[in-house]
Structure 1
Amino acid sequence: SPDGEYAEETGLEKEQIVVLRRAFDSFDRDKKGYISPETVSDILRMMGIKVSSTSFKQIIEEIDEDGSGQIEFSEFLQLAAKFLIEEDEEAMMKELKEAFRLYDKEGNGYITTQTLKEILHELDARLTAEELVGIIEEIDEDGSGTVDFDEFMAMMTG
């Protein structure tokens, strides 16, 4: 489905894409397939996303690849993703802290690289064994076989 492809390209949830599609369509009354940057700004405001006019201009320039001055649906999704996904970063930090605590059962302040492999596999089942080993080697530079919270955070947010 096109929504599935959009989800992969933008990192948005399918539900978010459905909501954004409805918003886009309700403003694209003549079904031209695009809306104006001003309209985009209105939609973001309705979604409770605050954006300064300077950064908005920059983002529009970046996203309006064909320079048409009109924002097509795929461009609109990329733009919305920038805001929606940044909002999620704080929530992600919290989740990572909880995940780390969950796996650091003894409260040592570190987890083993074996445990980290399991976490990574749960987060992304597509990772191959080689990729996992590569990631672990990158993080566990001193070869200690353990990863502390800072190393864990750096990896997850890097």
Structure 2
Amino acid sequence: MAKSSPTIETNYFDKVFRKFVANGDGKISITELGSATPEHELKDVMSDIDTDREGFIDLEEFIEFQRHGCNASDGAAVNKELREAFDLYDLNKNGKISADELHSVLKMLGVKCSLKECQKMMSK
């Protein structure tokens, strides 16, 4: 996979990626991934993202997955991926993402964004 030039998007993905890498080795292990993924989905998520099958997710694999998501041509698989992404933000599991939930998740990911900015995003 060719390295792309740094962009705002790449810098954002790098920041999010670093939140998962607890031990600082530059790779996400299945244990580290488990901190943000339900246990019953870990192996599926890992196999989707770890394209070189080395047992770790490196930054390039993480960025590729974030940019392109599910590679399946199957609509059900795409819907499942979208549902999982939605569920990460729907903290109270009421089927809606509030500005408070968006703010909490972005804060957890290390993204600097005020509640007022999240409210503005949600209104758009």
Using the size of structure 2 for normalisation, the TM-score is 0.38
Higher helix share: 1
- The structure with the larger Rg is 1
